[in-house]
Structure 1
Amino acid sequence: MTAWTLTKTRLFEGVWEGVLTNEGVDAKVPEIVVTHLQEPVPNVDLRENKEEACWVLRVPIPVDRISDGLQTFVISDAGTEETLGSFALMSGDALSYDIRAEMTLLREELDMLKRAFRRHCLETM
């Protein structure tokens, strides 16, 4: 089992960023590989931050990997082949339908609460 811990910091301008820390004594340079559909993602950047005793991982998301549906990226330690983390992107018509359905449901519930509140105010006057 690896002593590496991966913590997401942000996803900004098409670049996923995270911090790798090592809880063990063995603090050699981690060998990180990021895959999407079992294909390696290019241009993964791993830099040591000596001030905070950690490694900063930056994964630029290739434009050709963005498409409808759920796209999952897996971050692994190449040396041990252990999965350290993952992130997913969701897009497309199915997602927008779900969001619209949720918004409609929320609006209906809000209208119901407004009616109940108005009825309560009239009854207590």
Structure 2
Amino acid sequence: MLEESRIIAGRWEGVWAGASEPAFQVVHQARELPGLACDGLGDGRWRLSLPIPVELLSDGVQTFLLQADGERVGHFTILSGQPLEADLRAELDLLRAELDLLKRAFRRLCVETAG
């Protein structure tokens, strides 16, 4: 299980909890990235570290998958450049606003029909 994940100084770092040393790959657009380091921390925990290649950073959303035996076990995402029209954060804000509107309408309907 991936316990922690962060990006600092151009490196992705994560902490994995598992019984034995993991055999991971980090994949970006179906290409495995070189340089993933794995260091034991004790108690079945492992620090993973990967330099993020600058040539992969461009406008938009870049998603990096952490895989073990072809199965996704984690990921990290980098958003950079011009704001995206379909930015997921903006979409989430719109969904929250719509949900609040629906909740108010439902509550009003419940009050009106209860009396």
Within 5 A, what are the aligned runs for 1:10-21? 10-21=6-17
SS of the residue 1:64 aligns to: helix
Within 2, Cα distance between the matches of 1:38 and 1:11? 21
- Alpha-carbon offset, residue 49 of structure 1: 1.0
Q: Mind listing any 5+ residue stretches in structure 2 that lack a counterpart? A: 91-115
Q: Mind listing any 5+ residue stretches in structure 1 that lack a counterpart? A: 102-125
**Cα RMSD for the two superposed structures:** 2.0
Query: One-letter code of the match for 1:12?
Result: I
Q: TM-score, normalised by structure 1?
A: 0.63
SS of the residue 2:4 aligns to: strand
Report the equivalent of 1:47.
39
Runs of 4 or more, structure 1, over 4 Å off, are none
Within 2, Cα distance between the matches of 1:9 and 1:92? 22
The higher radius of gyration belongs to 1
Within 2, Cα distance between the matches of 1:48 and 1:63? 27
Q: TM-score, normalised by structure 2?
A: 0.68
Within 2, Cα distance between the matches of 1:8 and 1:39? 23
- Alpha-carbon offset, residue 53 of structure 1: 2.9
- Residues 19-38 of structure 1 deviation map (CA, whole Å, 9 limit, x = unaligned): 1002xxxx232110000001
SS of the residue 1:93 aligns to: coil
Within 1, Cα distance between the matches of 2:4 and 2:53? 18
Q: How many percent identity over aligned positions?
A: 37
Query: One-letter code of the match for 2:28?
Result: H
Aligned residues: 87
Report the equivalent of 2:64.
73
Report the equivalent of 2:95.
none
Decide whether the 8 Å contact of 2:20 with 2:44 is kept in 1.
Answer: no
